[in-house]
Structure 1
Amino acid sequence: MESNNRFIIIFILLVFNLHRSSSILDPLDFLALQSIHKSLSDLPGSTFFASWDFTSDPCNFPGVYCAADKVISLNLGDPRAGSPGLTGRLDPAIGKLSSLTELSIVPGRIFGSLPESLSQCRNLRFLAVSKNFISGEIPPSFAELKRLQTLDLSYNQITGSIPARIGELPALSNMILCHNKLSGSIPTFVSSTLTRVDLKHNDLSGPIGASALPPSIQFLSLSSNRLSGTIDRLLVRLNRLNYLDLSINQFTGSIPGRVFAFRMSSLQLQRNLFSGPIQPSSQVTIQTVDMSYNRLSGPISPLLSTVQNLYLNNNKLSGQVPGSFVDRLLSAGIQVLYLQHNYLTGIEINPSAEIPLSSSLCLQYNCMVPPLQTPCPLRAGKQKTRPTAQCSQLRG
């Protein structure tokens, strides 16, 4: 095999010397593409590799982009939505593409681990291998990719921890590792250009350091992990957030009032262990706020009445529902108001009032008899009122 490869290199060099006026692919890149092709194949219905004929110029192959005599971009698979992808393994020869700046692979059935040799592509800026069957761990050597801006390995079967040194990548802008089997803690990220961190649906655990994420972050999704500890010191620093999802974790402590002032459309904090009162610092302009299934207590702030979809169910909230909520509800300004499974004592609404068809209100299982019957989700149960003993205990 080695003698054959040596013959091919000599042949290409001879051709290169005979035709210096034209651009011919570097022999190492030529052999690397051959190895990549041999280790992958089209899934039924895909014709991506049909025109990869190595008797012609590989720079004209679909998905291959060259500058001078080097491959600079490799997009494997037909990018059209719904097209079947590729199957096989990523050959370590991919690391021989020394000028590679971009590598992407369409969703398919590529399996096996990520080649550590990718760390040799020191110019790599974009690496996206999502929605395949990649397993194994993230190679710690990826920390050598100092120019890497986007790392998207989402929707695979990657295990192990996020290497601490990955957080030291200075140019990182997008870290997308959601829907894997990653464990361990979230490392500290130092990039001042990091704007998107998506780690949802993994098995990450432990607290997040107050300075683990830079203030540049705009999109943060950590849902469906086992993360714990308080978040107030962390969130106070992230004042550029326009999307925040910390749902389905084990976070504790209070929710900082400042988070409600962030310019975002959705705030997802449900199914944690947050406690204490909800205290927005100003009128809330977020469209959807979900703080359900926590341990939040105290009265409901009128400053939340401007939220279009508000989920406060399954907490320990008490007192009267502010009148501003009723006004907004009857004028169709509120689309969802879920207050079930709390300790609320009343709401000033006329029993004959008609809730707009576009709005949903659920009040059952509180320390009051709901003044009007409204459809509630099935998981709210059938009991309309909380047992008196539980309400007395709370007041005591």
Structure 2
Amino acid sequence: MEVMMNTRKHLVSSVIFVLGLFYFPLIAFSILDPLDFLALQSVRRSLDDLPGSNFFSSWDFTSDPCNFAGVYCEADKVIALNLGDPRAGSPGLSGRIDHAIGNLSALAELTIVPGRVMGYLPQTLSQLKNLRFLAISKNFISGEIPTSLAELRSLQTLDLSYNQLSGSIPPSIGTIPSLSNVIMCHNHLTGSIPSFTSETLSRLDLKHNNFAGALSSSSLPPSLQYLSLSFNSLSGPVDRLLPRLNRLNYLDLSMNRFTGSIPGVLFTFPITNLQLQRNFFAGRVTPLDQVTISTVDLSYNRFSGQISPLLSTVQNLYMNNNRFTGEVPGSFVDRLLAAGIEVLYLQHNYLTGIEINPAAEIPSSSSLCLQYNCMVPPVQTTCPLKAGLQKTRPTTQCAQWKG
């Protein structure tokens, strides 16, 4: 009888132990929605740490996933997923983005740190109706931007920069009403730049792509503060568009094919850096008032006429390789000798003179270049190598540009 009782106790203990193996993990997982739990498992299977990274070391699915690195929960749902070690210089992750990520229905933030994540953006991202922040930068994401991303009507930040994306930006992306930051620089995107209707868009960075075509006068909202479109093949005038963007504090349209004049009101904007170089802008440069922008680059265009003395307050001024004529205003000399100007590049124009004493000492902190104009430079200064060796422009060329 005693043997039977001991055997029964042993059997009961064994059953309790076996049930415990299944039961206690269920207790650990019970705080997280099962669909979110399965989605995290799929994400983990599709991504790996690069050598030197241990981001996934805490992803032990026998414990609470809400305690995993980069996983943030509210109630029983994942609301933020930050994949990879965010510290600068960390190795990042490899692999692909699993389509199951679209099952994280409460997700409001998704980031993947720089690494070697490749493949396409999954169409299922459009299921994340609460997503406000999407940043997958400096990886190897390829293919086209899914049109379905436009269904993310709560999206505020879209950062897909430094990848290998191709094709065009779907026009419907520009209709997302809450967009504040669109950063898609350094990809292989083509086509025209769509119109953006968001009244909160403050940053648009599309530099280093293959965009072409013209910008319409209403394609960008007045809310913009940062605009970079450099290193594309954009063309046409911008004189009707720019006056609307009077909140800009940074503007870079360099390395394109823009034409026409630039409005004088542009120089009154709260801009700290104005980059218009290497286009086909033409006409006179006529600021409305003394310019307070610290850096202005108008080089390698077709600007003409006399140089406005209102530009003498610019700290770094690049006006080289244009068609400017006449004498350099005396206010530039005064500012230069007082160390108020750090860079004044006027080479490769048709300027006829500058009133400066040949014995004047230009501060060592200042750089002045005057060569290849319609005058002999009165002072010898160090010019950039690309200015060439010729000091003066041939007189036959100067005769054509008197005035």
Matches within 5 A, 1:1-396: 24-395=31-402
Q: Matched residue of 1:319: which SS?
A: strand
Q: What is the one-letter code of the residue matched to 2:65?
A: P
C-alpha deviation, 1:278, in angstroms: 0.4
Cα distance in 2 between the residues matched to 1:67 and 1:220: 36
Q: What is the one-letter code of the residue matched to 1:232?
A: D
Cα distance in 2 between the residues matched to 1:46 and 1:175: 29
Cα distance in 2 between the residues matched to 1:19 and 1:247: 59
Is the CA contact 2:49–2:92 (under 8 Å) kept in the aligned structure 1? yes
Cα distance in 2 between the residues matched to 1:141 and 1:300: 50
C-alpha deviation, 1:287, in angstroms: 0.2
Cα distance in 1 between the residues matched to 2:310 and 2:378: 23
Deviations 1:266-294 (Å, cap 9, x if unpaired)?
Answer: 10000000000000011000000000000
Q: What is the one-letter code of the residue matched to 2:309?
A: P
C-alpha deviation, 1:15, in angstroms: 6.2
Q: What is the one-letter code of the residue matched to 1:239?
A: N
C-alpha deviation, 1:178, in angstroms: 0.4
> Which residue number corresponds to residue 5 of structure 1?
none
Q: Matched residue of 2:188: which SS?
A: coil
Q: What is the one-letter code of the residue matched to 2:354?
A: I
C-alpha deviation, 1:81, in angstroms: 1.0
C-alpha deviation, 1:26, in angstroms: 0.6
C-alpha deviation, 1:19, in angstroms: 6.0
Deviations 1:167-193 (Å, cap 9, x if unpaired)?
Answer: 000000000000000000010101100
How many pairs were matched up? 383
Cα distance in 1 between the residues matched to 2:287 and 2:58: 60
Q: Matched residue of 2:48: which SS?
A: strand
Q: What is the TM-score when the length of structure 1 is the normalising length? A: 0.95
> What is the root-mean-square deviation in Å for CA atoms of aligned residues?
1.6
Cα distance in 2 between the residues matched to 1:395 and 1:236: 32
Unaligned runs of 5+ in 2: 1-18
Is the CA contact 1:129–1:153 (under 8 Å) kept in the aligned structure 2? yes
For the pair shown, the structure with the greater C-alpha radius of gyration is 2
C-alpha deviation, 1:29, in angstroms: 0.5
Q: Matched residue of 1:303: which SS?
A: helix
Is the CA contact 1:113–1:134 (under 8 Å) kept in the aligned structure 2? yes
C-alpha deviation, 1:55, in angstroms: 0.8
Q: Matched residue of 2:266: which SS?
A: helix
